[in-house]
Amino acid sequence: MLDAILDYQFMQNAIIAMILASIVCGIIGVIIVEKKMVMLSGGIAHTSYGGVGLGYLMGFEPIIGAIIFSVLSALGIGVVNKRAGKDSDIIIAMFWSIGMALGIIFIGLMPSYPPDMNSYLFGNILSVTKVDLIAMAVMSVIIVAVTIILYNDWKAFLFDPEFSRIRGLRTNFLEFLLLILIALTVVVLIRVAGIILVIALLTAPAAIAKFCSNNLKSRMIISIILGMLICYVGLWISYNFNLASGATIVILSGIAYLIGYIISLKKK
Amino acid sequence: MNNILSIKNLTVKYEHILALDNINLDVEKGDFLAIIGPNGGGKTTFLRAILGLLKKESGEILIEGKNIEKSRHLIGYVPQISLIDRKFPISVLEVVMTAILKPGLHPFFKYSKENKEFALKKLDLVGIKELANRQIADLSGGEFQRLLIARALATEPKILFLDEPTSNVDPHSKEQIYEVLYKLNKEITIVMVTHDLLAISKNVKNIACLNRTLIYHGEPVLTENVVNQMYGCPVDLIAHGVPHRVLGEHETHNHKIENSKEKHVRNNKANNSKNRRTK
């Protein structure tokens, strides 16, 4: 596979996409797993399908549409959540399926022959374009920078939001910022694992890291490394055996989690 | 003015249910006030209202004559430990240091050496300095409770609010926690919500009972009348294993004493059988 990486542009793109995905996935995944926001992330991911469809219909980059839809849905879920409180899973479900439905309608409205949506639904790391890559890079830089710059705010806020609020920290701002970061992360991952499969990639490395360390920073780092490993091995398998890359990576994530879980049981 | 906390006509509703009904309370500087009451009586709601965490229907809460927005820096808060994620990946020292953060955002902020030493001092105050580098997941209930007190102290409060500081804590830690609070009370006003009646007789200066309405009782002489009023029956007293020590003299008629003795016997029996079951 190394020859292919050196020879082909699409392989180089795939490797860069994989590295970016693993980094954001490691950082945000740890937060999502710790704060039990996995379903919320799933909702945001599925809503972005509407944006992809709109992009195709109106003739702009689908990934831009995905960014707009996922950020708006993240903010929407955040606002409604604050008002409705306990009913968050209902709201997430609404966004989830309405976003998908919009995508289907938009694609159906296209006068021309509909495009192949599979690479957005199930991910295809080998079809990552230059525009995708630039968008992914910009979002990754934003995610990493915001996390590092406000690291101590995050730590205080995530550990005890109520205490942080009493102390006058900007907890509302942090809450919505986190939702936006999750939305951006999901979009970065869509090209790798696809809208439908993205949750496994988002959670598995972080969940395994949880078995390994009790320190927030090292959990993120372990999670990044695990993400890269899983993606690289997945890419290698899918390249050599001609399997769908997104699905291969997701199945590997599942296997990795299972192994991590069994080892953690033995430790106890 | 000697009142550090002054509450006037406070009413709080949860949706349409009246949670707190026209509460008036003044707390003097240096007081150690315990607020007791049944579960669901609004104790936690009361604290949350004071801390500005929920909307009040009407009324006024002043701390040193100012409302919460302007008096944040005066307040220390120790939440119920059951409300906190004790598996969160953070160390003991880091938890205390989160209290050092000033209001606002903190881009590029790094804790300084002074911050660390300051936090260590607070941990020393509650007697868990040697645990500073542990992850919180490794702490016992009592240690975790003391950590939360240390965190509250790191905000350098003038008034400290504690929500059930001795629930989920073993008897030995309980003693230590009260010792710490007793020491702190020399400089800080303390308001504690609790259902631990044993603690009240020994450590507390004043008590108030809260069951939607608040009744101020002053010095901690728990007459059976007070307890009955709050709990409906003396079961809770006995369930805590302290039937008479915290009670004042019975001031009622003889036959009533007879009656209540009978009740105690019955409750003791019930309690014993409960204990056996839990064992």
Cβ partners under 8 Å of residue B115, min gap 6: B97, B100
Q: Of how many residues is chain B composed?
A: 279
pLDDT in tens, A5-54: 888 888 899 999 999 999 999 999 999 999 999 999 999 999 999 999 99
Q: Is A236 at the interface with chain B, CB within 8 A?
A: no
Name the least confident of A86-95, B92-101, B120-129, B228-237: B228-237
Domain presence at residue A267: no
Residue with tokens 């008897």: B171
> Residue A130 maps to which CATH number?
1.10.3470.10
Domain presence at residue A54: yes
Domain residue limits at A147: 2-259
Q: Is A219 at the interface with chain B, CB within 8 A?
A: yes
Q: Which positions in chain B touch A170 (Cβ < 8 Å)?
A: 104-105
Domain presence at residue A76: yes
The reported pTM is 0.86
Residue B274 has pLDDT above 70, yes or no: no
Domain presence at residue A62: yes
Name the least confident of A178-182, B29-33, B253-257: B253-257
pLDDT in tens, B83-106: 899 999 999 999 999 999 999 999
The pLDDT, as a whole number, for residue B278 is 41
**What number of CA atoms fall less than 13 Å from residue B199's CA on the CB side?**
28
Tell me, what DSSP letter sits at residue A169? B
Chain A interface mutation, best of B78, B106, B136, highest count of A Cβ atoms under 10 Å? B106
Q: Give B247 or A76, the one with higher predicted confidence.
A: A76
Residues of B with CB under 8 A from a CB of A: 51-53, 72, 75, 77, 79, 83-85, 88-91, 94-95, 98-99, 101-111, 135, 137-138, 151, 155
A87-96, A220-229, B78-87: range with highest mean pLDDT? A220-229
Domain ranges of chain B: 3-228
User: Which uninterrupted H or E stretch holds A187?
Assistant: helix A171-212
CB B144 within 8 A of CB B86: yes
How far apart are alpha carbons B3 and B63 in whole angstroms?
A: 8
Domain presence at residue A59: yes
Q: Which positions in chain A touch B155 (Cβ < 8 Å)?
A: 167
> CATH topology for B3-228?
Rossmann fold (3.40.50)
Q: How close A64 gets to chain B, by Cα (Å)?
A: 28
Domain presence at residue A264: no
The pLDDT, as a whole number, for residue A218 is 94
Q: Per the structure, how many domains does chain A have?
A: 1
Predicted ipTM beyond 0.85:
yes
Percent of the residues in chain B that have a pLDDT greater than 70, as a whole number: 77
Domain presence at residue A175: yes
Tell me if A166 and B52 make a contact (CB, 8 A cut-off).
yes
Other CB atoms closer than 10 Å to residue B117's CB: what's the count?
9
